Structure 1
């Protein structure tokens, strides 16, 4: 019997609710379960732990995992009882009662909830009482005690009104309306449904508005008032469309189709039924196919197409036999009874009517049973069984009058009039006929008004569609006109420009080549000058920085350990600087034709080459590179006959070996070969297994100060001058230099030199001093290129400083001397620096400007334009010391700018001050509730302000979502949880979770002061349980919501 009652609920009344909600909530509930399970801390055994278990049990019940739900609820109840948490125990008992209800164990649920009611009353948990009265009322309905159900609903309604909980007030009015519908008291049902409708309209809950309006329409349809029924179905349809609820649309389409059928608008009736077929076509549900087939049969029956109606209804009747659905069987057999009555096959009409009546009585569908009885009675009368027919009609008449159902009265009175006329009771027959005429007129009037209303609704829809199409057409036409106008204007402008250009084109052609040549020459000259000054200044200032820095350290520490190493660094840097200056002087003299080589004829060429190479063996050994010399001259070559310059040979060989050392990896090989061409020319080949040179750069690699790529040129240590010296020395020696290389497979440098007499002649006639300035190396003490390194101190409490500098010595100078109070990360190029910055979010970055892979300017721009790293202060170190260079560095976002050579004391102080300012700023925000309203907010960068504003807006937008947390915030900000946490912590010294909670509580304060109830405030700020919200509020504000309101209003 219990299952039968549940079936009645789903098919008769709450069918609207079922369609409105579908089965879309299960994934949401599963997500809530996962979030709550993460939130529950098993080590924190307090009252909140029991409350959370009780809530978790309710959630498991909603996805029909009843065994799990019961186990969790019982666990919560026992835990609360053992620890004397009375309120938590009451809550767990309430959860258990609601789970039994969901499971269909209504008696067990009612007994459990009665115990929960007593416990809640004793613990003064009045709001929770409102929750269980809903289930207690529904249990009473299932147990067929409508009086008791209304009693519980009234109690729940009173509590909801006391706490001004609009949502629950609407729910209880809805439940009371259903109870009166169940009692067939349609007037009271309509009254309560309308109260619910008004509540939901006030708080603008679309799906509940549609549900209440649909239920009102259902009640009006039961009593034959099609006019009011269709008006409310239209309201329901509009709100289902607003809510994009396909299931709700299906239901209202079905009901509106029925009404169109009743008022004779058969085309529209078919149209709405067809819409449902389209909406249902992907569901593959046999019951839906039966219902839509029956609906078509009903329309054909009303239309008078009895043959088509019989075919469809019999098809539906055959199909429904295999489906366990008594309600649909009742509907189909009733329609078949109507069909056979109309075609005067009264025996079949009686059989189908009685079958329909049997199903209807089984489901307690009194109105459907009454309809079937009327058809049986009418069939009896037409067969001459007037007495039996009259008795049935009198019962039906009493039912209709008592239930205030007027739709069947004309048919009943008409048949009663006929019976009395047969019996000769003309006066009674006349009275019945007058009543027949009266109610027929009322029904016709209702049908007319209904038709008028629904036609108006359809007209409004057509007008809205037509208006939309018209607007679309107007917009399209306007765009077309605008496009044509623009095209005409552009065409006229083009013609005008065309004729103007023709006048000047001949003159321009004459001058364009000359102008282009001049512009190209000037651009090259300016480019090379600028590149030269930039690069050479950088190279000078880097060793000077080491010299100055180390001297400064030594002056501070005097006799500290490590003094020899620092003196050696000073000496090496000085030597490097001297070598750079000497080579620059030579290049300058060569360019001005003021430099001449000195030649000797001592015959010791091979020994001199070996002596020069000996200077490099130790450096090659340090990198485990094999260095070899091969004398491949033939027997005709005599050393004493070859006149050469020791200075040129030493410069050429030293620079080529230095270059090979820098670009050859560990365990590589470098070979030096000496060849001859007779006695007049020699060739020195330096062959390495290094990285090679890209093809597009080989043409320019010997040009003075040429750099293949500024951001990559310094990937290996060097000054960028050496190969230019090789070229100039070879030219002075009457020869040339070339390279044979393949990128990634090494390089072969070939230097061809001529004996002295020819070299002297070329010196005065052929040396080219106007070549483009460029080259990538200089003679210096070479050392190993360093790999990317990073060093983080053990203490995790110290601020992190990221040092990005391609010179290892500069990095060591900074990290070893600005203070042990910091942790350090190191990178030898800009690309690695960005990677470390995004991964670790350091407190400060110190960066050089000229670096391999990515220069400092691009690095600053990248970090400052990235919301993840925009807050990190950056100090730029550079050799560019002009005012414009400083302005450029600060404009791109650098927080400070130091030129090389820099003072360690000054750098140390600037680092300290920047971090001190940053700490003060974070402290100002650490307890703020509205960061963007704080005075210190103005001091943040534009990107950081946008980040904080976006965080606050995102939290505020989602504040009413119960499960909204750090994961959701991180997803919306497109960051990982750890990145989000570090970023917010770095800016305002708060965690994301704390910030979300703070925003919720602050919003709750505002809403409480605006007059909302505690329950409404809880819903609006994302707490599903008002009791849990009150605890969270009290924990932060140190007073309950009601106490806060009371004190704030004083």
Structure 2
């Protein structure tokens, strides 16, 4: 009753704000429509909405017509009828635009944006939601539709963030807070408390559960009071997930049961069936398979009987049932549901193929008609043009030819003289640059060598070391200038030739851009990187393109003030790379802008510089057959380049046909390409040349000293306390950690406990390095999980040997795992948290391995880690990359099926997740030395 009264009040305010009299029947229907929609009775609500449409037509009110049509579009969206949603939303939008009705505009745009959102067309969805935000600012419009648009903007961003760019999480949070603030301003407590749910999800995404839980409980109290069973059930679900992740299984089960009871009372069969599925998944995770079976069977009964095409859901349910029956020893039932799993997989594949065929046919017919129309139009235009031109060609041609011939003769004579003089000047200048550059390199080498040698002397005073460091930096700066001068001379003398090869352009650009992060942090600048390029192979000269990007970014960082924003974006269109570099906080005069690419011109008069970098950049862009230009705004400068990256843009002499596809990656970055033999996503992880060592100590000198001991053999990263160290351990997943015991904020004991109790870091060996002596301190460190305990002052040889021994023991463990046919963590000496991780990993493989869509990305989502974290974790435990691990498990499952069943060999590959039979055969032979058919005949292999 409370909620129904609130709906009526909000509806009354909604209409009264327009200053028009609303017919009683219309307002009464609107209140009932909202109530019916809340109860999911959409057909009844639509009936009343069409009644309101007729009332609006009789009244002749544009406002009421727009309201009625936008409400109908919202109801059709709830029913999942997107065509009808779009039809009525566009009608409402046209009416609102013509009569300047911002409330109707925002409502109609929300329906259209929601359709794109549901179809995962994120760019179009964001476009519609941002238009709503613009209308709100322009007209000062604040209403529930604007609030919903802001919430949806945040949700779209949440599902598009990546490991490389997690800034979208923060952007989503800002939209949620804006939506919540507006909901409070317009007196809409329901949306305000929905904002608490969204903020809880933000902190849950970050695993900051101590911040997430209060938000969920605050919204829970409100929605329980309002009787909103759907919202309450969703909150219970979120709390259940958090408690499960915290290993509070009893509390987690309490929330899952509460959710199920609440949805059962509400009576929506599909939501109840989904709740059964979720509860069963929780029970399976904690190995209570017998209890999970009844819930899975209830869910199976509903989705099997429903006529909604739930093949994907049924695939998951039957797979889970088969696994639970197998775990409980009922192999007959397990076999039955494994068979059902194969049937649903085939159904999904067939549906995808049919949809693809229809889509291709429609595109073909459309393209064919457009080509016919264009051809007819072109023929008609050509005929008309011929008629007009034939009369004027003769006379005009004679006059024109005479004038052009005379002009060309005069221009040619003058141009010859001018060009000859310019060429002489350019040649002399280029020769000077080349000669002086070569002469400078010898003394530079003689300066840098002794300086670097002196810096290695540990007996240097701090003042001497500082002076020598300054000398070294300036020598390096002068070396860069010399290299630029040489490049210019090569370009002008035509010695600089393109040498393009194939490479992963996205990785290449991200690696260059990310290498500037440290410099921007030093100046408190924000570097925003948006590389929207698919992981395909493109053709480019890596050396030329690297110099272009480095020059543009270096220029942007150099001349931008502190706390400025620098934006780098790149995308591919029509076979061309479009890249822009924007730096804020500065602007140029029109005169400076016109001369910015001239040699020795300084764009910033008050800044030091030679004026070579941008001139060289322009010539390199043109060498790569591209274009560059600059745009100046009130407080920013943006450089735009466009260069071709497709094979046909380059001649055979410019291409390195023998080069292998190259990648350009920072040390611990993962990328993804599509295997030409298989449609599954294959992870291409960097082959780490060195193990990663994390040093955690609050004393900077100690960090520097240990780094100097280890940096030749290992990749070293550092942190100043246990809190920062744990965050770096989560992000980088090092191979070993060396930590001090006593530190501010969080000490070494807290760091060790955090690492050893987190699935991402539990496998990492930890050396406790401290000045506290005594057996009780050593025992405390070892009990908390440290693998070794060394006291200060320590012997550097002992430290290096301890590091080597611990890393070698991990490598021996990797060999054991790589030899196992199935994961058997209990048979190998590992920690309980690693054992739990591998058991969870095995559960995920049992449920999802047979799906062809199961790749590194899906694996990381299922296990709850980023792709880099999962890669590092698997590499440490098994010695295999994520893709190698998935492929290996599929081949092991295939071998087992070949030995234990008589299924057709051509179907085995599809059953274990391979889409291409020849690729499956190739991988199988590489692993087992036999083809699948040969392996199947030798059952005792």
TM-score by length of 2: 0.28
- Normalised by the length of structure 1, the TM-score is 0.25
Decide which structure has the larger Cα Rg and report it: 1
Greater relative contact order (Cα < 8 A, sep 6+):
1
